Structure 1
Amino acid sequence: MVKVFLKLDHGTPQYACSSCSNCNSVYGKSMCKIKSRGCCWYFPKFTLYEIHKMSKNNLGRETLRKILNIQSTKIYNYYIHAKGYFDKTSFNKYISSNNQYEDVKDKSIFFRACPFVEPEKGCALPQQYRSFVCNFFICEEVKKVLKGNSEFRDYIKECNSYVRWIDWENVALRAMLDEKNINLVDNFNEVIEFLSEVPLENFEFRKLKELKVAGE
């Protein structure tokens, strides 16, 4: 029996699955040198909303420094993109072979790893500062089992509402920065200090019933 449930960390929601610690999903397979990385193949993008939260306390500032210390991290005007490991040589060999997972459109996921994943442990970043893409990821195998489940539709609706709310927060924060004529590329420290003074809004995430999936 697999359980899917909502976790909240300082108001930040995460959809958790009890089978993640013993993942058998094709999306969790790694063909690169970083094994046991589960589904952590995404290169996270941290928007102004996440950066705003990080600006508020020492743990957040420490997390931000950890992100910036990644050599491949790229700072853009209104977001930060942390790029991880990609075994391009092995990926090219795999693409030219006949032994591929046909159900997976993006074959590169087998050869990528997030820069913050710790093998057999998971993400090294606090849940409250992770990208919503990471916090809401549920593998396709579990989604297929839950397809048509009315309670799972509530999970999808609430996720969509939360993402729209984050988009709105990012638009509002960007407007504030534009008004002051500052951005992360040219005025990084000034932006962080400015955001630390801006009141932090929280999304009121509704309570969701724990879901139970028979088998995997």
Structure 2
Amino acid sequence: MTFIWDQHNKQLLSPHCRQCRDPHFQRISEDFEPAGCCRYEPVFTLFELWKMVRSGEESFLKKEIWNHPQNHIYEYEIIAGAHMHSSFYEKREDGSIPSHVFEQLMGSQHTKYQAVDLRLKYGICPFFIKGEGCGLKPSFKTSICRMFICDSIEEALNKKELEKLHGIQRKVQEEANTFNSFHAGILREKGLDLIRHLDEVIDYLRQVE
């Protein structure tokens, strides 16, 4: 078995992650920190924010998630902006500047996915710790981070293992999606959102069982 299900924290783990071999997550330069799938910008939903509130970590939520200058706040989710390598803003040998190419690709719905892929080749999750991996408490990890297993690991699984993996992933996703859909609906009815009413949303989440 090339993956482990951590039932307590409801997360998938793999001993292969520290030596990531997946082609999609390889470094584009030797001076980049090896980070595997932590080349990602995590999306914190109401589900993760609720866990922070429930754990008494409201100060962490406010300082590191909501008030961080690199993060992008939307009505019911917050995207943690990646730490970008300096070469993202520098001219390459072909004369292009990655950050400029990114902006151009973002200008079309047809190339936005290419823009995201380009940006993440130069970025790394702000909660990544060199030599250790994710610096978040397991319960604060996003559902994507808790259920993600890369293609190179999946390809090594047999049919039974794949069925088990996909069953776990569905449960993790359904739990988060159900929570987010239900509580975003209530907050919307109340006229509250994370952009303008952080304290009120926290008060609401504090009451959720």
TM range (shorter): 0.7 to 0.9
Partner of 2:153: 142
Q: Is residue 81 of structure 2 the alignment partner of residue 83 of structure 1?
A: yes
5 Å-filtered alignment, 1:8-87, equals: 8-9=7-8, 12-31=9-28, 34-58=32-56, 60-64=57-61, 65-87=63-85
For 2:138 and 2:66, locate their aligned partners in 1 and report how far apart those are by CA, in whole Å: 18
Q: Kindly provide the amino acid, as one letter, of the partner of residue 181 in structure 2.
A: V
Partner of 1:189: 199
Q: Secondary structure at the match of 1:145?
A: coil
For 1:194 and 1:16, locate their aligned partners in 2 and report how far apart those are by CA, in whole Å: 32
Q: Secondary structure at the match of 1:120?
A: coil
Contact 2:128 2:134 in 1 (8 A): yes
Unaligned runs of 5+ residues in structure 1 are 97-104, 200-216
Q: How many percent of aligned residue pairs carry the same amino acid? A: 25
Contact 1:45 1:81 in 2 (8 A): yes
5 Å-filtered alignment, 1:126-165, equals: 126-146=137-157, 148-165=158-175
TM-score, normalised via structure 1 length: 0.75
Alignment RMSD (CA, Å): 2.6
**Following TM superposition, by how much is the alpha carbon of 1:90 offset from its aligned partner in structure 2, in angstroms?**
6.3
Q: Secondary structure at the match of 2:39?
A: coil
CA shift in 2, pair 1:37/1:91, >3 Å:
farther
Partner of 1:211: none
For 2:12 and 2:152, locate their aligned partners in 1 and report how far apart those are by CA, in whole Å: 15
CA shift in 2, pair 1:25/1:195, >3 Å:
same
Contact 1:49 1:166 in 2 (8 A): yes
Q: Secondary structure at the match of 2:144?
A: helix
**Following TM superposition, by how much is the alpha carbon of 1:159 offset from its aligned partner in structure 2, in angstroms?**
1.0
**Following TM superposition, by how much is the alpha carbon of 1:24 offset from its aligned partner in structure 2, in angstroms?**
3.0
TM-score, normalised via structure 2 length: 0.77
Partner of 1:112: 123
**Following TM superposition, by how much is the alpha carbon of 1:16 offset from its aligned partner in structure 2, in angstroms?**
0.6
Unaligned runs of 5+ residues in structure 2 are 97-113
**Following TM superposition, by how much is the alpha carbon of 1:83 offset from its aligned partner in structure 2, in angstroms?**
1.0
Contact 1:90 1:111 in 2 (8 A): no
For 1:16 and 1:196, locate their aligned partners in 2 and report how far apart those are by CA, in whole Å: 30
Partner of 2:103: none
